[in-house]
A and B are shown apart, each in its own frame.
Chain A
Amino acid sequence: MNNPTRRFTAASSSLLCIIVFFVCGYIFFPLYELVKESLGTGANGYSFQSYNHLFRSSLLEATFNSVAISILSVVGSGVVGTFIAYVFQYVEFPAKSVLSKVVLIPLALPPLVGVISFLFLVGESGMLSRVFAMLSGIDPSFFTVGGWTGIVLVHIYSFYVYFYLFVSSALSQLDGNALDASASLGASRARTIWRILFPMLAPAFVGASLITFMSSMASFSAPLLFGGTTRFLTLEIYTAKLNGDNSSAAALAILLSIISVCILFLLRWWQDTHRHRMSSKGTGPSSKISHGGFTKIVVVGLTLALAILFALPVATIVVLSFIKEGTWTYQIFPSSFTVENYRRLFGEPHLLDPFINSIRMSLTAAVLVVVIGVMAAYLISRKKFPGRRLLEMAISLPFGIPGTVIAVGLILSFNRPSLFSFQSILVGTFWIMPLAYAVRNLPLLYRSTAAGLDAVHPSLQEAAESLGSPGGRTFRKIILPVIMPSIVSGTLLVFINSVGEFVSSILLYSYSTKPISVEILSQLRLFNIGGAAVYSTLLMIFVIAVVAASNRFFRSTFTA
């Protein structure tokens, strides 16, 4: 097709050059350095020696554990998320709108903060464990959750939201008439759910499973704080790197990436081959599936219990931020409270530095991602050029690569001058972390922008052109405003992800660029619980404020 609107102009070429530079320099080059490092550069040239180490039983164990915990997390999150999505879509009960916000809380909680709050709730001296012990008279250790159970619980808490959001949106777009048709053909409610509803939701399940699996494989804070002596791939990489064993760290990173990327492309392939969308006119609103009184009470009760559980970790963190240093030891609940922790934070400005560092680095990352991501999405979806599919895959690649791996790759690439660091050393500087955040989040922004562009009918651009509007003006005045909501919401997600980012930060930070997540962990390591909780609370408030502000922005701009 030689559609003139897709013709490649000089302007497009220069945009493409910038994108290719970014992809080569900050995605491919670090991966190349990883592979090189893993093969070793000893006197006898390349070898697979570090891979031989890998096949020690301990590493097989770590691999098995990582995969197993991810599968458990997917199943658990799937059950919880789907259940809640179903209840909110089809069952009417009081206070539904408030609860529907409560169940989104885990989204606002940076993973590290979630893990810490679980530690204080159900860890060795957790409040919830002690309460149960007191009520039942059984030893608290019976109620203590650790190791596998702890990690899976934390994962479900953090990742169930993916299932909830995917399934909810699928349910709300679903053609309710199909369910009514099934019922009118005499199918029971269970049969309708099993044979009609679930198959129609399959794409949502696969999409959410994909994200949950990748996130669980890449999960670092939960194994770090709950794992004990159990081996996981992310932990092994971290340990190897701390021990200065770069080649083992690199080999492990490659192993973890290969598993993740394989799963990524497997599920993507499934999504591409199962894209069946029926175009139907006059899609009716999905009907309510009627439930008996008893079922309804059980279902609503369960949802309420879950909502309380979801709110509990946040409450815990906030409460802990007020405890007096060293007063909470053997009691079930802390007894003496003080605002000292907050006063100290705002009294000594340098204590706010980690927070400011995180915001500065996240803003830098967000700007970088928006520029590259929007340009890439526009070129890939609207222009024709050789290597288009390849570029798209390259941009999506970091989605499959755990943060630990990206961090190790960046360290190996930029601990010496190179073309892509403009001949300077980036490790130890301000720039290395924004770069890591940007690389990790590029697929996210790319996807949300591309989805926005997909929703813009090509005739919109053609209409502008036939009115005499040149390419640049059409993009600025027509395309950009229409896809702005997708860009803004994508950017916010990038920013929020980066502000609480921990996994790659812990490997990349230096004293002067310590981000808030690393500071929280340091406070915890010093048993400075109040301090850790104050930082965590601040982080949560900040995230919630950003989300709330953006909601307001959307409502006022796009109510039309």
Chain B
Amino acid sequence: MSSLHLHNLSKSFGTLPALAPIEIEIRDGEFFSLLGPSGCGKTTLLRIIAGLEAPSSGTILIDGVDITALPPQKRNVGIVFQNYALFPHMTVFENVAYGLEVKKIPVNEIRAKVQHILDKVHLADKADIPVPLLSGGEQQRVAVARAVVVEPRVLLFDEPLSNLDYALRLETRTEIKRLQREVGITTVYVTHDQGEALALSDRIGVLSHGIVQQIGAPDELYFHPGNAFTAAFIGHANLFSREICGEYFGITNLTGKELLAVLPEEIILSAGSGKAAGRIIDKQFSGSSIEYTVDFAGQVVKAIRSSSDSGFVGDIGELALLSFAGSIERKVINE
């Protein structure tokens, strides 16, 4: 268990900057997610922490000790790859035992440790099966067990759920969270799925174009986004300019650089026409909720209402009146 400090870390490929100088402190035992769209530099950052890529500048400190110059073998940082990277010629047991054998741990101790971790990931009965014969979800759990069993100081996940189908993804992320909590390991988790990040993390670092947009707890990012990117990426918030706020909603306390971020569930649609009306261009029923897309004042607005709420029943092509649920004070800087 350790703390991880990324200090002033940057990376460029040739003249192409991939990561702006980055400053992140990850606490002991914390589950920290790096969240961003593809190409934002999150995987590069992960590979730098693992030592698979060298940073252009900056230092990586684990428990205050600089490990920037250490090769991956000497870092004791575990990694779970997107494609799992299991050793195809070995059994489940051999895969998990590999890292322990490298450390020259006595055989009976290896057996006990592997047995213990396989129990934890519910694979105890599959120990002697060659890994190519396992299902995708089982392979994923072997990859986690192999990384965890060597008791790394930091555990890294590189989009570990992206190769699983939806139901398995939900199940596996619960398992990962449980295991992380039980082992208490400091974890850095890379994902582009904001739902995954919100559900799993103690804190999230939002990354875009190699720049850290905001770091914070899930609810903090969701309800108090620091800028327009975070608001749109995390909460799918609708962003309204000062002019629109003034003209349609009577909100006049915004500066020219500010936008009002309104979450889809904070927008209330009602039947009728008026100044603040828009045309419904799409309506999607997804069980617990209904999502409306409204063409309003030249922009596309998303509104969600609970499907148990039997108020508004507008249809595609009809007009709907927009209003906010309560007073919205969420102002973000437009960059």
Contact = CB atoms under 8 A, between A and B. Distances in A.
Contacts of B82: 459
A560 B132 contact: yes
Interface string B294-312: 0000000000000000000
Contact of A468 (B73, B88, B132): B73
A38 B52 CA distance: 52
A292 interface: no
Interface string A402-428: 000000000000000000000000000
Interface string B273-315: 0000000000000000000000000000000000000000000
B186 to A, nearest CB: 15
B85 A457 contact: yes
Interface stretch (B96-104, B113-121, B194-202, B225-233): B96-104
A515 to B, nearest CB: 37
Given A459-B85, A482-B88, A560-B130, A470 B73 contact: yes
Nearest to A483: B89
Interface string B235-264: 000000000000000000000000000000
Contact of A478 (B51, B77, B87, B133): B87
Nearest to A465: B72
B166 interface: no
Interface residues of A, number: 24
A457 B71 contact: no
Interface string B127-151: 0001011000000000000110010
B54 A469 contact: no
Interface stretch (A2-10, A271-279, A535-543): A2-10
Interface in B52-77: 52-54, 71-77
Main SS class of interface, A: helix
Contact of B53 (A3, A459, A464, A469): A3
Given A457-B83, A459-B83, A560-B130, A466 B88 contact: no
Interface in A451-494: 457, 459-460, 462-470, 473, 477-478, 481-482, 484
Given A4-B51, A4-B53, A468 B81 contact: no
A1 interface: yes
B133 A468 contact: no
A459 B43 CA distance: 13
Nearest to B81: A459
A465 B71 contact: yes
B150 A5 contact: no
Contacts of B218: none
Interface residues of B, number: 33
A458 to B, nearest CB: 9
Contacts of A463: 79, 81, 85-87, 146
A468 B85 contact: no
Contact of B72 (A462, A482, A484): A462
Contacts of A482: 87-89
Contact of A473 (B75, B102, B150): B102
B239 to A, nearest CB: 35
Nearest to A558: B89
Contacts of A465: 51-52, 71-73
Contacts of B87: 460, 463-464, 478, 482
B206 interface: no
B79 A462 contact: yes
Contact of B146 (A459, A467, A473, A478): A467
Contacts of B130: 560
Contacts of B83: 457, 459
B52 A469 contact: no
Contact of B52 (A5, A467, A560): A5
A421 B83 CA distance: 48
A464 B77 CA distance: 11
Interface in B19-58: 50-54
Contacts of B102: 467-470, 473
Interface in A46-99: none
A391 B87 CA distance: 30
A469 B146 CA distance: 13
A467 B150 contact: yes
Contacts of B147: 466-467
A486 to B, nearest CB: 13
Nearest to B98: A467
A2 to B, nearest CB: 5
A459 B76 CA distance: 17
Contact of A466 (B53, B77, B133): B77
A560 B73 CA distance: 29
Interface centre among A459, A463, A478 (most CB of B within 10 A): A463
A476 to B, nearest CB: 12
B34 to A, nearest CB: 17
Contacts of B132: 560
B160 interface: no
A494 to B, nearest CB: 23
Nearest to A460: B85
A469 B73 contact: yes
Interface centre among A466, A468, A477 (most CB of B within 10 A): A466
B210 interface: no
Contacts of B72: 4-5, 462, 465-466
Contacts of B78: 466-467
Nearest to B99: A467
A5 B54 CA distance: 10
Nearest to B55: A2
Nearest to A461: B85
7 contacts: A3-B54, A466-B52, A466-B72, A467-B98, A467-B150, A468-B74, A469-B73
Given A457-B85, A459-B83, 10 more contacts: A462-B72, A463-B85, A466-B52, A466-B77, A467-B98, A468-B102, A469-B98, A470-B73, A560-B130, A560-B133
Interface of B: 13, 50-54, 71-79, 81-83, 85-89, 98-99, 102-103, 130, 132-133, 146-147, 150
Interface of A: 1-5, 457, 459-460, 462-470, 473, 477-478, 481-482, 484, 560
The 3 A-B pairs at the shortest CB distance, nearest first, are namely A467-B99, A560-B130, A459-B85
